Structure 1
């Protein structure tokens, strides 16, 4: 058995980066990985999905080329090449993380890590002990507890990312982030897409105004939505599949050639032996305090495994907070200021509170809006559908910011910076922005 200063379980966003930071801070680190470098995000999540989003974006631009005076006679989609490009990007980034695991001070262990005791981790015959342990084992796909949930025609996001054909009819169960991204992608690829969502609106945690506008735009693109609909079963129907659901008490169904199960993800708690160590957890995930520390001193849990915020960048910064606590350093990271993005077409980005949350908490607020159609750059891009909505207190401090439109994922960080420093909306209005640019939508809010 070897002794280290820190043991990390998982090389996803909550593991590999903090391992390097810890090693550079002088700690001796052992990091375990049972599957692949980079975790879910790199291999079957964020990166490969966004690669397909780019393919979808190009297809939509080609379809709109005539509006720009460009005549494109013919275009086609070669899914085998699409997947090959995606795999190449993943392999390149995975190789980069593998190289980082050779950083001096880091010992990489391939294997399924388990707790032997509160400060000892083993995988096979390799056993390490350390006063500090960070659990970053991520999450796994949820399935509805319904008949046919695991039938041949049902796939998860993992299988969708390796699909080398475009299904004629695709039914997406779940109108959350994952479901909508794939709905948007395969709509652009040519699938007839139907989204079945249990809640009254898509993107349930998001601002209702933004979600409704996004649904309207996607509907114009040809995506069909069944809102407030509970899926009750999946059955074979000749050479296709029947998704049965209840809508306002009425039983309905949709026929599909392929079904994407996208009803969320759950903490990957299995196989760690948490009960033997006495670590407290619920179905949502491992319970942690503001330092990401569990009830067992020296053991931390970051990212999807703690269920607080299922975002890759949240996992990374939670791991930084944990490391600061281990090193005895006062953290300067504000975890509550964390943007989230949906890479549909157009994109959605949010940070802070929604209007519904402020109303529910009876907090006084002001609403500020600006439309993409009023922006010169947006018009030149042919991206005039969109909205920036900002919620402030009476003194102008930003309580929440919500963007629907082109490059929302990039624009949201202006608000992140202002919120992180507890500044007011006037800072944005009084900062010179380049013209013409989409950022002027924010400046003129």
Structure 2
């Protein structure tokens, strides 16, 4: 029986990163994966969707080329070619993960792993022993009863990103990050898109002001948004007929296809957890602040344990728990320091408390805002819609939250993440010199505005 210091179950962005860091720390490491190295994120999530969204952005740029003094003939989208490009990106990165694991001498075990208890794991017909085990099995798309995926008309995120022909009409159920990104993509290509959300607003977890700006922008681009609505049933025919229960009463909607983007479910089944003391609470594995389960030597990270369901959270958790098991002094994760990004057009990015949450906690706050239309680089680039918003504790100057909507905000949010993680106050940010002309100057101006010092508005 092969023995390891660490055996990781699942080779997604949490698992493979944990395995590599453990190897760097001198551990003998193996990683078991039943399907794809890189997990959902690399193969069916973060990476291929960003490739598709980039293709859509290029198409949009060409459509608006005249606004920049460039004359071009009418562009034509090839969905099949966009999909092919996205699959190539995923495959390339999958090979990259394999190379990184081999470089770090991590043994790759193909197959479905199960815990046997007493530090043992089976993969197929083989049994392995490991001093430590990390469960990093991720999550899958949530299925809505009556809207089960059929791969043809009712689609999960997987089928939604490999369509060969562009549907004339499409309904997307769920207006969180996944739903919004697919709505943006298919709208850019010319599909008639309807977003259906059961909450009273889209992007329910985002700052309300930012979500409202995004809502208006999506509607301006031609996306129909129906909030406070539930799908009560579906009739299949040449088209799908969705029966809706809305705040205005019953209604129906006919579309060619439906994408269900109603959240995820942790992959806790068939892991042999019943042979251990590992507890599952509300469908997710229970861990402490150091990612330990109730079974000695067994840890869990990523989507299988808790929201937010983000690749960078899983990666950070992987490193944290590996360094903890190696005896290093580590700092538990503060979830308010985890950034979230949505790569639609416009993009949305945030970290920390929303304005409403800060007020509900009884905090006295200062709020600063700076619009894209007042920034020189944004004006020169044609980016006139968007907002940067910062929230500070009025008494201490602590940065409580930052929220943005507009082009490239996913690339700018980390300035605030670094400031928040480093516990900087408004004074350090105010006295930081931002380069001109850049979009990043809006970050500075928003902080200045919170303290009545904004220069350019």
Q: TM-score range by the shorter chain?
A: over 0.9
Q: Which one is further off, 238-247 or 346-355?
A: 238-247
Which residue matches 2:416? 415
Kindly indicate whether the alpha-carbon contact (under 8 Å) linking 1:148 and 1:235 is maintained by their aligned counterparts in 2: no
Kindly indicate whether the alpha-carbon contact (under 8 Å) linking 2:23 and 2:104 is maintained by their aligned counterparts in 1: yes
- Cα distance, 1:283 vs structure 2: 3.1
Kindly indicate whether the alpha-carbon contact (under 8 Å) linking 2:292 and 2:298 is maintained by their aligned counterparts in 1: yes
Q: How far apart in 2 are the matches of 1:68 and 1:148?
A: 44
| CA RMSD, 1 decimal | 1.3
- Residue 308 of structure 1 aligns to a residue in which SS? coil
Q: Which one is further off, 94-103 or 310-319?
A: 94-103
Q: How far apart in 2 are the matches of 1:118 and 1:252?
A: 56
Which residue matches 2:450? none
Equivalent residues in 2 for 1:301-312, closer than 5 Å: 301-312=300-311
- Residue 101 of structure 1 aligns to a residue in which SS? helix
- Cα distance, 1:334 vs structure 2: 4.1
Equivalent residues in 2 for 1:270-349, closer than 5 Å: 270-332=269-331, 334-336=333-335, 337-349=337-349
Which residue matches 2:454? none
Q: How far apart in 2 are the matches of 1:416 and 1:405?
A: 18
- Cα distance, 1:333 vs structure 2: 6.4
Kindly indicate whether the alpha-carbon contact (under 8 Å) linking 1:193 and 1:223 is maintained by their aligned counterparts in 2: yes
Which residue matches 2:194? 194
Q: How far apart in 1 are the matches of 2:60 and 2:427?
A: 36
Equivalent residues in 2 for 1:97-136, closer than 5 Å: 97-136=97-136
Equivalent residues in 2 for 1:30-429, closer than 5 Å: 30-145=30-145, 147-151=146-150, 152-236=152-236, 238-248=237-247, 250-332=249-331, 334-336=333-335, 337-394=337-394, 395-429=396-430
- Cα distance, 1:290 vs structure 2: 0.6
Q: How far apart in 1 are the matches of 2:203 and 2:147?
A: 25
Q: How far apart in 2 are the matches of 1:362 and 1:284?
A: 32
- Cα distance, 1:149 vs structure 2: 3.4
Q: How far apart in 2 are the matches of 1:426 and 1:350?
A: 21
- How big is each residue's C-alpha offset from its partner over 1:346-381, in whole Å with a ceiling of 9 and x where there is no partner? 110000011121122222211111111100111111
Report the TM-score when normalising by structure 2: 0.95
Q: How far apart in 2 are the matches of 1:141 and 1:55?
A: 24
- Cα distance, 1:330 vs structure 2: 0.9
- Residue 390 of structure 2 aligns to a residue in which SS? strand
Q: How far apart in 2 are the matches of 1:335 and 1:31?
A: 27
- Cα distance, 1:67 vs structure 2: 1.0
- How big is each residue's C-alpha offset from its partner over 1:111-144, in whole Å with a ceiling of 9 and x where there is no partner? 0000111411111122111121111000000011
Which residue matches 2:2? 2
- Cα distance, 1:104 vs structure 2: 4.6
- Residue 404 of structure 1 aligns to a residue in which SS? strand
Kindly indicate whether the alpha-carbon contact (under 8 Å) linking 2:289 and 2:333 is maintained by their aligned counterparts in 1: no
* Uncovered stretches (5+) of structure 2, i.e. residues with no partner: 447-457
Q: How far apart in 1 are the matches of 2:135 and 2:29?
A: 13
Kindly indicate whether the alpha-carbon contact (under 8 Å) linking 2:113 and 2:271 is maintained by their aligned counterparts in 1: yes
- Residue 188 of structure 1 aligns to a residue in which SS? helix
Q: How far apart in 2 are the matches of 1:148 and 1:61?
A: 35
Kindly indicate whether the alpha-carbon contact (under 8 Å) linking 1:176 and 1:202 is maintained by their aligned counterparts in 2: yes
Q: Which one is further off, 428-437 or 174-183?
A: 428-437
Kindly indicate whether the alpha-carbon contact (under 8 Å) linking 1:170 and 1:260 is maintained by their aligned counterparts in 2: yes
- Residue 235 of structure 2 aligns to a residue in which SS? strand
- Cα distance, 1:249 vs structure 2: 5.9
Q: How far apart in 1 are the matches of 2:276 and 2:328?
A: 27
Kindly indicate whether the alpha-carbon contact (under 8 Å) linking 2:229 and 2:246 is maintained by their aligned counterparts in 1: yes
- Residue 165 of structure 1 aligns to a residue in which SS? coil
- Residue 4 of structure 1 aligns to a residue in which SS? strand
Q: Structure 1's 380 and 118: CA in aligned 2 closer, same or farther, altered over 3 A?
A: farther
* Structure 1 ranges of 4+ moved more than 6 A: none
Q: How far apart in 1 are the matches of 2:333 and 2:38?
A: 24
- Residue 131 of structure 1 aligns to a residue in which SS? strand
- Cα distance, 1:173 vs structure 2: 0.5
- Residue 315 of structure 1 aligns to a residue in which SS? helix
Report the TM-score when normalising by structure 1: 0.97
Count of aligned positions:
443
